[in-house]
Amino acid sequence: MTEDWRGPYMVRGKFMKVLVLTGAGISAESGIPTFRGSDGLWEGFRPEDVATPEAFQRDPALVHRFYNERRRRLLSPDIEPNAAHRALAAFESQHQDDFLLVTQNIDDLHQRSGSQKILCMHGELLKARCMDSGECFPWKEDLGLDTPHPRYPNRLGRLRPHVVWFGEMPFGLPTIEQAAAQADLFLAIGTSAVVYPAAAIVQWTGPHCHRVEINVDATPASQAFQQVIRGKASSEVPKFLQEILNAAQ
């Protein structure tokens, strides 16, 4: 720990309202590459070729292929939650007051660990969305131009990955804004803080909020945090959350 975090933002040694934001760094040790690392998830693709509405209009097969590969990889048996995902779920089950986990990740590793109050602001890879009605369906198969609609089997190719592309509005922004304004503790884990509006959440927290960043590297947002923990999520997140729980005893 770089700084003593016991301060006026705690009530009897306890943070009441806790908001957590996670990014690709928390899943890196589970075998899912980050976006901007050297072996980045964009894997030689330019985001604008595979992660925009325009790309999907231009070449839906390419976009489907990109997400199909990621979905298959996510479902492979060697991908599983790590100690950081598990620690967040355990913390949530022990924390008696408000808790919200906002993730930018489209993997399901938080859900697999048992996290309950989770808002997937960039969508979920294991869901498909009807482009006509907006209805979402749990989805583990490949998607393609000939995929039948689950309700109307004659309608082909009307499903898209339930993910937020560049230029689209992330999910749940009003909820996130409200949770940020009320948070006593804001914890940002494994995010590079370059993609907005997620990168702005730290700015939405109030003056009473204790802001903590856990990341292996510095980010453009590091200065907005009172406490910066440099290290891997799998070791630092369980340690930090345990200290918080101990202090609340």
Catalytic residues: 122
What residues numbered 115-134 form the site for ligand OAD, per CB under 6 A?
122
Contact predicate 242/226, CB 8 Å: no
Q: Residue 192 interacts with ligand OAD (CB under 6 A)? A: yes
CB of 178 to ligand OAD, least distance (A): 21
- Burial, 133: exposed, middle or buried (Cβ in 10 Å; 0-12, 13-18, 19+)? exposed
Q: Residue 217 interacts with ligand OAD (CB under 6 A)? A: yes
Which two tokens mark 15? 């943070």
- Which positions from 52 to 91 touch ligand OAD by CB under 6 A, shown as an x/- string? ----------------------------------------
Name residue 108's amino acid. Answer: D
Cβ proximity to ligand OAD, 78 vs 146, nearer residue: 78
Name residue 190's amino acid. Answer: G
Q: Residue 51 interacts with ligand OAD (CB under 6 A)? A: yes
Contact predicate 65/45, CB 8 Å: no
Contact predicate 189/22, CB 8 Å: yes
Of 158, 160, 162, nearest to 124 (Cα)?
162
CB of 219 to ligand OAD, least distance (A): 5
Query: Which position among 233, 240, 241, 244 is part of the footprint of ligand OAD (CB under 6 A)?
Result: 233
Q: Which residue's beta carbon is nearest to the bound ligand OAD?
A: 25
As a whole number of angstroms, the distance between CA 177 and CA 170 comes to 12
CB of 121 to ligand OAD, least distance (A): 8
Of 126, 102, 95, nearest to 26 (Cα)?
102
As a whole number of angstroms, the distance between CA 158 and CA 133 comes to 10
What residues numbered 9-38 form the site for ligand OAD, per CB under 6 A?
23-25, 28-29, 34-37
Give residues in contact with ligand OAD (CB under 6 A).
23-25, 28-29, 34-37, 47, 51, 104, 122, 164, 190-192, 195, 215-217, 219, 232-233
